[in-house]
Structure 1
Amino acid sequence: MPLVSLDQTITLALSVSDRHASARWYEDMLGFEVLYHADAAGWSELQTKTPGVVMGLGEHTKPAPGNCVPVFGIADLDGARATLEQAGVAFDGATDVVEGMVKTATFFDPDGNALMLAEDLTGGAA
């Protein structure tokens, strides 16, 4: 039995230099649909063609090419983080909170690959 219970959503988070331009590219090239642009947070999300899987675009001045961080939705991030930390899982700093939007925490697998947990704070689905 797993230590934490994920929900049925996955966000594939990418680092990009221009979220709006990248979103247009994903729309035009792959038929993804923009769900929203959160300009104050430097974040955009697009619905992929796969139910429960969205593409998240994080804007950075110097994005790392070839990066992808799977973001797993979870109902109780704080509880899951505590459970994983007790099991020896390493996290990358403190939990980030964008009030009224999302709470996130980045952690690493045994090979150092970054993964993220995200708790929806909007009152909707994660």
Structure 2
Amino acid sequence: MPLVSLDTTITLALSVRDRRASAAWYAETLGFELLHHIDEAGWSEMRTKTEGVTLGLGEQAEPAPGNTVPVFGVADLAAARAALEGAGVRFDGATETIEGMVRLATFYDPDGNALMLAEDLTGG
């Protein structure tokens, strides 16, 4: 039995220099649909052609090329984090909350690959 119960969503988060330009590129090139730009968070999100999979574009002054972080949806991030920490999984700092939007926590697999948990706070 897994330590954490994931939902049926995944976001692939990419670091980009200009998320609006990147969103336009993904729309024109791959046919992804813009869901929203969240300026205060430096974040844009797009619907891919795969059900339950979105592409997140996080704006960074110096993005890390090739750095994709899978973001797994969970219903209760605090419980999921406690279960993973109890099993010795290493997290990167405190859980981040963007009020009314999302709660996020970055953690690492045994090889140091970054993964993230996200709890939807939109009520949607």
Aligned to 1:111: 111
How far apart are the structure 1 equivalents of 2:67 and 2:25?
A: 17
**Amino acid in structure 1 at the alignment position of 2:54:** V
**Residue 67 of structure 1 aligns with which residue?**
67
Which secondary structure state, in structure 1, belongs to the residue aligned with residue 25 of structure 2?
helix
Q: Provide the C-alpha distance between the structure 2 equivalents of 1:93 and 1:76, rounded to a whole number of angstroms.
A: 18
Instruction: Read off the aligned partner of 2:123 and give its amino acid letter.
Output: G
**1:35 maps to what in 2?**
35
**Alignment-mate amino acid for residue 44 of structure 2:** S
Measure how far apart 1:110 and its partner are. 0.3
What is residue 48 of structure 2 aligned with on the other side? 48
- 2:2: which partner in 1? 2
Cα deviations across residues 32-74 of structure 1 (Å, max 9, x unaligned)? 0000000011000000000000000000000001110000000
Alpha-carbon distance in 2 for matches of 1:122, 1:32: 22
SS at the partner of 1:81? helix
| Identical aligned residues as a percent | 74
Tell me the C-alpha RMSD between the 2 structures. Answer: 0.3
Cα deviation for residue 90 of structure 1 reads: 0.1
1:16 and 2:38 matched: no
SS of the residue aligned with 2:4?
coil
Specify the alignment match of 1:99 in structure 2.
Answer: 99
- TM-score, structure 1 normalization: 0.98
TM-score for both structures, normalised by structure 2: 0.99
Aligned partner of residue 24 in structure 2, secondary structure: helix
C-alpha distance in 2, partners of 1:116/1:81?
10
2:64 partner amino acid: A
